[in-house]
Amino acid sequence: MATISAEAFRLLMENIADGFFVHDVEGRLLDVNARSCADLGYDRDELLGRTIADISRGQPHAVNAGKWRDMPAGTALRFAEVALRKDGSTFPVEISLTCQIIEGRKLFIGLARDLGTQDGDEPVLEDALTGLASRQRLDAELVKACFHATRTGEPVAVAMIDIDHFRLYNGDHGAVHGDEALRALAAILAGIARRPYDLAARHGGDRFVLLLPGIDSPETLVGRVGEELSMLAIPHPGSPVAPHLTVSGGCVVASELADVTPPALLAECERALRRAKANGRNRTELIRV
Protein backbone atom coordinates (compact mmCIF):
# COMPACT_ATOMS: atom_id res chain seq x y z
CA MET A 1 0.00 0.00 0.00
CA ALA A 2 1.26 3.49 -0.79
CA THR A 3 2.14 5.63 2.19
CA ILE A 4 1.44 9.30 2.69
CA SER A 5 2.77 11.63 5.32
CA ALA A 6 0.33 13.36 7.63
CA GLU A 7 1.44 16.71 6.21
CA ALA A 8 0.90 15.64 2.58
CA PHE A 9 -2.48 14.11 3.37
CA ARG A 10 -3.64 17.27 5.15
CA LEU A 11 -2.50 19.38 2.20
CA LEU A 12 -4.52 17.19 -0.14
CA MET A 13 -7.67 17.47 1.94
CA GLU A 14 -7.40 21.23 2.38
CA ASN A 15 -6.72 21.82 -1.32
CA ILE A 16 -10.41 22.17 -2.15
CA ALA A 17 -13.14 24.73 -1.53
CA ASP A 18 -15.82 22.14 -0.73
CA GLY A 19 -16.43 20.29 2.50
CA PHE A 20 -14.50 16.99 2.46
CA PHE A 21 -15.32 14.12 4.80
CA VAL A 22 -14.88 10.40 5.36
CA HIS A 23 -17.34 8.27 7.32
CA ASP A 24 -17.89 4.58 8.03
CA VAL A 25 -20.94 2.35 7.53
CA GLU A 26 -22.45 3.67 10.77
CA GLY A 27 -22.17 7.21 9.47
CA ARG A 28 -19.44 8.08 11.99
CA LEU A 29 -17.14 10.87 10.79
CA LEU A 30 -13.51 9.76 10.62
CA ASP A 31 -11.97 12.81 8.96
CA VAL A 32 -13.02 16.27 7.79
CA ASN A 33 -11.33 19.31 6.28
CA ALA A 34 -11.39 22.92 7.46
CA ARG A 35 -14.17 23.85 5.03
CA SER A 36 -16.48 21.25 6.61
CA CYS A 37 -15.77 22.71 10.03
CA ALA A 38 -16.38 26.27 8.86
CA ASP A 39 -19.62 25.41 7.05
CA LEU A 40 -21.04 23.54 10.04
CA GLY A 41 -19.70 25.79 12.81
CA TYR A 42 -17.73 23.10 14.66
CA ASP A 43 -14.11 22.67 15.61
CA ARG A 44 -12.51 19.63 13.99
CA ASP A 45 -12.31 17.74 17.29
CA GLU A 46 -16.02 18.37 17.85
CA LEU A 47 -16.95 16.88 14.47
CA LEU A 48 -14.83 13.74 14.60
CA GLY A 49 -16.84 10.91 16.10
CA ARG A 50 -20.17 12.54 15.38
CA THR A 51 -22.44 10.85 12.87
CA ILE A 52 -23.92 12.09 9.62
CA ALA A 53 -27.29 12.09 11.40
CA ASP A 54 -25.93 14.71 13.83
CA ILE A 55 -25.25 17.18 11.01
CA SER A 56 -28.24 16.42 8.77
CA ARG A 57 -31.88 17.38 9.11
CA GLY A 58 -34.64 14.82 9.63
CA GLN A 59 -36.41 13.26 6.69
CA PRO A 60 -33.95 14.09 3.88
CA HIS A 61 -31.18 12.34 5.82
CA ALA A 62 -33.31 9.26 6.53
CA VAL A 63 -34.05 8.86 2.82
CA ASN A 64 -30.45 9.41 1.73
CA ALA A 65 -28.99 7.13 4.42
CA GLY A 66 -30.99 4.28 2.95
CA LYS A 67 -29.31 4.95 -0.38
CA TRP A 68 -25.68 5.12 0.69
CA ARG A 69 -25.79 2.21 3.14
CA ASP A 70 -26.58 -0.12 0.24
CA MET A 71 -23.87 1.23 -2.08
CA PRO A 72 -21.52 -1.47 -3.42
CA ALA A 73 -17.82 -0.74 -3.15
CA GLY A 74 -16.48 1.15 -6.14
CA THR A 75 -19.71 3.02 -6.86
CA ALA A 76 -20.60 6.70 -6.63
CA LEU A 77 -23.76 8.57 -5.66
CA ARG A 78 -24.90 12.21 -5.82
CA PHE A 79 -27.88 13.54 -3.90
CA ALA A 80 -29.30 16.65 -2.24
CA GLU A 81 -29.17 16.97 1.53
CA VAL A 82 -30.04 19.53 4.20
CA ALA A 83 -27.06 20.18 6.48
CA LEU A 84 -27.53 21.12 10.13
CA ARG A 85 -25.13 23.61 11.71
CA LYS A 86 -24.07 23.59 15.35
CA ASP A 87 -26.28 26.63 16.00
CA GLY A 88 -29.35 24.80 14.66
CA SER A 89 -29.58 26.63 11.34
CA THR A 90 -29.69 24.67 8.09
CA PHE A 91 -28.46 25.05 4.52
CA PRO A 92 -28.83 22.99 1.32
CA VAL A 93 -25.88 20.94 0.07
CA GLU A 94 -25.13 18.60 -2.78
CA ILE A 95 -23.34 15.45 -1.64
CA SER A 96 -21.00 13.56 -3.94
CA LEU A 97 -20.19 10.23 -2.28
CA THR A 98 -17.92 7.34 -3.25
CA CYS A 99 -17.89 3.96 -1.50
CA GLN A 100 -14.50 2.24 -1.22
CA ILE A 101 -12.89 -0.63 0.66
CA ILE A 102 -9.83 0.83 2.36
CA GLU A 103 -7.63 -1.29 4.63
CA GLY A 104 -10.42 -3.87 4.79
CA ARG A 105 -13.08 -1.35 5.86
CA LYS A 106 -16.05 -0.09 3.89
CA LEU A 107 -15.67 3.69 3.91
CA PHE A 108 -17.51 6.56 2.27
CA ILE A 109 -15.52 9.48 0.84
CA GLY A 110 -17.62 12.57 0.32
CA LEU A 111 -17.72 16.15 -0.86
CA ALA A 112 -20.38 18.56 0.37
CA ARG A 113 -21.04 21.60 -1.79
CA ASP A 114 -22.97 24.47 -0.19
CA LEU A 115 -25.82 25.36 -2.55
CA GLY A 116 -26.79 28.40 -0.50
CA THR A 117 -23.79 30.50 -1.54
CA GLN A 118 -23.51 34.03 -0.22
CA ASP A 119 -23.83 35.66 -3.63
CA GLY A 120 -26.93 33.63 -4.45
CA ASP A 121 -25.30 31.80 -7.35
CA GLU A 122 -25.48 28.02 -7.52
CA PRO A 123 -22.21 26.24 -8.25
CA VAL A 124 -21.83 25.17 -11.85
CA LEU A 125 -21.35 21.40 -11.98
CA GLU A 126 -22.10 20.85 -15.68
CA ASP A 127 -20.70 22.55 -18.76
CA ALA A 128 -23.59 24.23 -20.57
CA LEU A 129 -22.32 23.59 -24.10
CA THR A 130 -21.25 19.95 -23.89
CA GLY A 131 -23.12 18.52 -20.90
CA LEU A 132 -19.85 17.20 -19.45
CA ALA A 133 -18.65 17.97 -15.95
CA SER A 134 -17.52 21.54 -15.35
CA ARG A 135 -14.01 22.59 -14.35
CA GLN A 136 -15.36 23.19 -10.83
CA ARG A 137 -16.60 19.63 -10.54
CA LEU A 138 -13.40 18.25 -12.08
CA ASP A 139 -11.32 19.94 -9.39
CA ALA A 140 -13.49 18.41 -6.67
CA GLU A 141 -13.52 14.89 -8.13
CA LEU A 142 -9.77 14.96 -8.70
CA VAL A 143 -9.21 15.56 -4.99
CA LYS A 144 -11.42 12.56 -4.16
CA ALA A 145 -9.58 10.35 -6.65
CA CYS A 146 -6.20 11.36 -5.23
CA PHE A 147 -7.39 10.71 -1.69
CA HIS A 148 -8.49 7.19 -2.63
CA ALA A 149 -5.22 6.52 -4.45
CA THR A 150 -3.10 7.59 -1.49
CA ARG A 151 -5.00 5.29 0.85
CA THR A 152 -5.12 2.21 -1.39
CA GLY A 153 -1.97 2.43 -3.49
CA GLU A 154 -4.03 2.20 -6.67
CA PRO A 155 -2.92 4.35 -9.62
CA VAL A 156 -4.90 7.24 -11.01
CA ALA A 157 -4.76 8.30 -14.66
CA VAL A 158 -5.59 11.76 -15.94
CA ALA A 159 -5.67 12.69 -19.62
CA MET A 160 -5.89 16.16 -21.16
CA ILE A 161 -7.17 16.28 -24.74
CA ASP A 162 -7.75 19.05 -27.24
CA ILE A 163 -8.60 19.40 -30.93
CA ASP A 164 -5.65 20.00 -33.23
CA HIS A 165 -5.67 23.50 -34.77
CA PHE A 166 -9.13 24.24 -33.41
CA ARG A 167 -8.74 28.00 -33.75
CA LEU A 168 -8.07 27.52 -37.44
CA TYR A 169 -11.17 25.31 -37.71
CA ASN A 170 -13.28 27.91 -35.93
CA GLY A 171 -11.98 30.64 -38.20
CA ASP A 172 -12.67 28.66 -41.37
CA HIS A 173 -16.06 27.21 -40.41
CA GLY A 174 -17.50 29.62 -37.83
CA ALA A 175 -18.44 29.34 -34.18
CA VAL A 176 -21.60 27.30 -34.81
CA HIS A 177 -19.64 24.49 -36.47
CA GLY A 178 -16.97 24.87 -33.80
CA ASP A 179 -19.54 24.26 -31.08
CA GLU A 180 -20.84 21.22 -32.97
CA ALA A 181 -17.30 19.83 -33.10
CA LEU A 182 -16.88 20.31 -29.35
CA ARG A 183 -20.15 18.52 -28.68
CA ALA A 184 -19.09 15.64 -30.95
CA LEU A 185 -15.83 15.23 -29.04
CA ALA A 186 -17.67 15.51 -25.71
CA ALA A 187 -20.01 12.67 -26.70
CA ILE A 188 -17.00 10.45 -27.43
CA LEU A 189 -15.42 11.27 -24.08
CA ALA A 190 -18.67 10.60 -22.22
CA GLY A 191 -18.84 7.18 -23.89
CA ILE A 192 -15.35 6.33 -22.68
CA ALA A 193 -15.82 7.52 -19.07
CA ARG A 194 -18.40 4.84 -18.33
CA ARG A 195 -17.53 3.61 -14.84
CA PRO A 196 -19.30 5.36 -11.95
CA TYR A 197 -16.09 6.98 -10.73
CA ASP A 198 -14.72 7.95 -14.17
CA LEU A 199 -15.22 11.56 -15.19
CA ALA A 200 -15.19 13.43 -18.48
CA ALA A 201 -14.94 17.20 -18.03
CA ARG A 202 -14.49 20.31 -20.09
CA HIS A 203 -11.37 22.06 -18.87
CA GLY A 204 -11.94 25.17 -20.98
CA GLY A 205 -12.17 26.12 -24.65
CA ASP A 206 -11.47 23.02 -26.75
CA ARG A 207 -9.58 21.33 -23.92
CA PHE A 208 -11.08 18.35 -22.09
CA VAL A 209 -9.97 16.07 -19.26
CA LEU A 210 -10.59 12.39 -18.56
CA LEU A 211 -10.22 11.24 -14.95
CA LEU A 212 -9.70 7.47 -14.79
CA PRO A 213 -9.06 6.18 -11.25
CA GLY A 214 -7.46 2.76 -10.94
CA ILE A 215 -6.16 2.74 -14.52
CA ASP A 216 -2.44 2.08 -14.96
CA SER A 217 -2.32 1.96 -18.77
CA PRO A 218 -4.75 4.53 -20.20
CA GLU A 219 -3.16 4.70 -23.64
CA THR A 220 -5.73 2.42 -25.30
CA LEU A 221 -8.70 4.28 -23.84
CA VAL A 222 -7.31 7.70 -24.73
CA GLY A 223 -6.32 6.45 -28.17
CA ARG A 224 -9.95 5.55 -28.78
CA VAL A 225 -10.85 9.23 -28.55
CA GLY A 226 -8.82 10.05 -31.65
CA GLU A 227 -9.96 6.91 -33.46
CA GLU A 228 -13.65 7.59 -32.89
CA LEU A 229 -13.30 11.25 -33.85
CA SER A 230 -11.52 10.25 -37.07
CA MET A 231 -14.37 7.87 -37.87
CA LEU A 232 -16.73 10.86 -37.86
CA ALA A 233 -14.56 12.38 -40.62
CA ILE A 234 -15.42 15.98 -39.74
CA PRO A 235 -13.70 17.97 -42.53
CA HIS A 236 -10.80 20.22 -41.54
CA PRO A 237 -9.12 21.02 -44.87
CA GLY A 238 -7.02 23.79 -43.34
CA SER A 239 -5.28 21.45 -40.91
CA PRO A 240 -1.68 20.52 -41.70
CA VAL A 241 -2.19 17.29 -39.74
CA ALA A 242 -5.06 15.58 -41.56
CA PRO A 243 -8.04 16.52 -43.78
CA HIS A 244 -10.38 15.90 -40.85
CA LEU A 245 -10.50 16.82 -37.17
CA THR A 246 -7.87 15.14 -34.98
CA VAL A 247 -6.90 15.40 -31.32
CA SER A 248 -3.74 15.41 -29.26
CA GLY A 249 -3.60 13.99 -25.75
CA GLY A 250 -1.36 14.20 -22.73
CA CYS A 251 -1.70 11.44 -20.10
CA VAL A 252 -0.34 11.18 -16.59
CA VAL A 253 -0.37 8.03 -14.48
CA ALA A 254 0.42 8.57 -10.82
CA SER A 255 1.10 5.49 -8.72
CA GLU A 256 2.66 7.19 -5.69
CA LEU A 257 0.77 10.29 -4.64
CA ALA A 258 2.41 11.18 -1.34
CA ASP A 259 4.08 14.24 -2.85
CA VAL A 260 1.70 14.96 -5.75
CA THR A 261 -1.23 17.37 -5.54
CA PRO A 262 -4.18 17.58 -7.97
CA PRO A 263 -2.89 20.85 -9.50
CA ALA A 264 0.48 19.18 -10.06
CA LEU A 265 -1.22 16.29 -11.89
CA LEU A 266 -2.98 18.72 -14.23
CA ALA A 267 0.31 20.55 -14.79
CA GLU A 268 1.94 17.25 -15.79
CA CYS A 269 -0.97 16.60 -18.16
CA GLU A 270 -0.33 19.94 -19.83
CA ARG A 271 3.35 19.07 -20.15
CA ALA A 272 2.51 15.74 -21.80
CA LEU A 273 0.04 17.50 -24.12
CA ARG A 274 2.68 20.02 -25.19
CA ARG A 275 4.99 17.11 -25.95
CA ALA A 276 2.32 15.48 -28.13
CA LYS A 277 1.93 18.71 -30.09
CA ALA A 278 5.67 19.15 -30.45
CA ASN A 279 5.94 15.60 -31.83
CA GLY A 280 3.48 16.23 -34.65
CA ARG A 281 0.01 16.22 -33.02
CA ASN A 282 -2.68 13.57 -33.62
CA ARG A 283 -1.03 11.45 -30.94
CA THR A 284 -0.92 10.81 -27.19
CA GLU A 285 2.07 11.15 -24.88
CA LEU A 286 2.30 9.49 -21.46
CA ILE A 287 4.14 10.63 -18.33
CA ARG A 288 4.44 8.51 -15.18
CA VAL A 289 4.97 10.21 -11.83
What's the distance, Cα to Cα, between the start and end of the chain in Å?
A: 16
19 closest CA partner among 8, 32, 31, 7:
32
Return the top range by mean pLDDT from 53-57, 64-68, 76-80, 269-273.
269-273
Q: Specify whether the CB–CB gap between 289 and 252 falls below 8 A.
A: yes
pLDDT exceeds cutoff 80 at 43: yes
pLDDT in tens, 200-213: 999 989 999 999 99
pLDDT in tens, 254-267: 886 656 678 888 99
Q: How far apart, in whole angstroms, are the C-alpha atoms of residue 20 and residue 208?
A: 25
Residue 92 burial class via C-beta count within 10 angstroms: exposed 0-12, middle 13-18, buried 19 and up: middle
Query: How confident is the model over 212-224, as a mean pLDDT?
Result: 91
Alpha helices in the chain (DSSP H): 6-14, 34-40, 44-47, 58-68, 135-152, 166-173, 175-192, 219-232, 262-278
Residues with Cβ within 8 Å of residue 52, at least 6 apart in sequence: 23, 27, 29, 61, 65
Give the pLDDT confidence score for residue 32 in this predicted structure. 93
Give the pLDDT confidence score for residue 120 in this predicted structure. 44
Question: What is the reported pTM?
Answer: 0.67
The CATH code for residues 135-288 is 3.30.70.270
For 18-22, 136-140, 276-280, which range has the lowest pLDDT when averaged over its residues? 136-140
Domain residue ranges of the chain, discontinuous segments joined by +: 6-114, 135-288
Query: How confident is the model over 121-139, as a mean pLDDT?
Result: 81
How many CB atoms sit inside 10 A of residue 154's CB?
18
Looking at domain 6-114, its CATH superfamily turns out to be: PAS domain (3.30.450.20)
pLDDT exceeds cutoff 60 at 12: yes
141 closest CA partner among 243, 1, 16:
16
